[in-house]
Every structure is written in structure tokens, then in C-alpha cells.
Amino acid sequence: MTVKKASTDFPIHEPLAARWSPYGFADRPVAKADLCSLFEAARWAASSYNEQPWSFFVATRENPEEFARLLSCLVEGNQGWAKAAPVLVLGVVNLRFSRNDKDNRAAVHDLGLAAGNLVVEATTRGLSVHQMIGILPEKAREVYRIPEHSEAWTAMAIGYRADPATLPDALKERDLTPRQRKPMSQFVFTGTWGESSPLVLTSDA
């Protein structure tokens, strides 16, 4: 099985280094207890004013009708590979504060924090998560009767990654491609835009 552990310049915790987003998923269900722990991790994410503006729709292949409904909310390109995942999740965000009905500029950020918690928890349990922005928000609104001021924003495929050798060529290539990231000097600044911070320009980086 392919391991794509991050090659880091500085030490980070194992779940962060081990996390990656496969396109291939094994035909193996995810235990209910594990799924509940994933959503429990999301539940305890930080959010502005403790608003917790996220909601999640979840469907498993064990319930084909519900799985098909959620799959239909993905763009066609994502449906092709995500249909093999044992679990699909749709992330919905409330764009208004419940406390005063004003716009919540942090809402999408906070949905991301909740998803980040979920992904790390999944990694510690040997699960993989592939997050997607390629969804059909208006289709999701219709299918799930999502109310005004809330919007489907992202989706996730969750499961156990497949051995790339068992995948079609296109997916095999994606899952075998080495992971790459920009160096910190390109996004950690001090002083002015684009000026790399001395903090990340150490000689042993």
C-alpha cells in the first residue's frame, strides 16, 4: 500500500504528516462508532462566538437511496470516483449569526476548522478523507431543503484507501503522484507582502 507521508522541513505530529487525499477507496465499510468519533471531533472545533455554523449530511453505501441522493449533489467529475467511497458527507454552512442575524464572515473558515478536526481524527483511525469543493449547491438545496442563508459548501468522501494497483489508470496515477507543498518562505511574511519572514529562513530548514 502506498504511503505518502509528508516530507517536512520541521517536525509535526504524525496524523498531520500522514494525512493525504486518495481518489481510490476500498470496498470496506466504516464502523458507526468511528463515524461518530469523526463528527465528535468536528463538534469541538473552534468557531467565532462559539456559533458552530456547520451542519453535515452523511450517507453510507449501506443505504443506497441516501447515498445516491448525496452523490447527485457532486459535480460529474467527482461522482465518478467518489461513488466507490463507503461514506459521503456534505458540509453546509450558516452564513448568518444566530445571535443577531448579521453576516458571519467567519462561517466558511469555521466550517473548515470543523472539517480539519474531522480529517485529523479520521487519520488517527486509519481512515482517509478526500475533501471536495466540486459540488452542486443548488441541487443540494433542493435535495435537502437547505434553508435561506445556509449553503452547501463542500463535500467529503471517507473510507479506507484502496491499493493503487487495483485502480483504473487515471486514478492510479493520481494516487501515486508524490505530495508537494510550497515552501513556507512563499506564504509566511514579515514587514510587507511577499517578504519572507526570518522565522522560516533558518539555515537548518
Reported as a single tens digit per residue, the pLDDT across 14-25 is 999 999 999 999
Q: Where are the domains of the chain?
A: 15-163
Cβ-count burial of 39 within 10 angstroms (0-12 exposed, 13-18 middle, 19+ buried)? middle
Mean pLDDT of 83-107: 97
Task: Give the CATH number of domain 15-163.
Answer: 3.40.109.10
The mean pLDDT value of the chain amounts to 95
Report the predicted TM-score, pTM, of the whole model to 2 decimal places: 0.94
Mean pLDDT of 153-165: 96
The answer to whether residue 38 scores a pLDDT higher than 90 is yes
pLDDT-derived band at 205 (thresholds 50, 70, 90) equals: very low
pLDDT-derived band at 2 (thresholds 50, 70, 90) equals: low
Mean pLDDT of 167-176: 90
Mean pLDDT of 140-168: 96
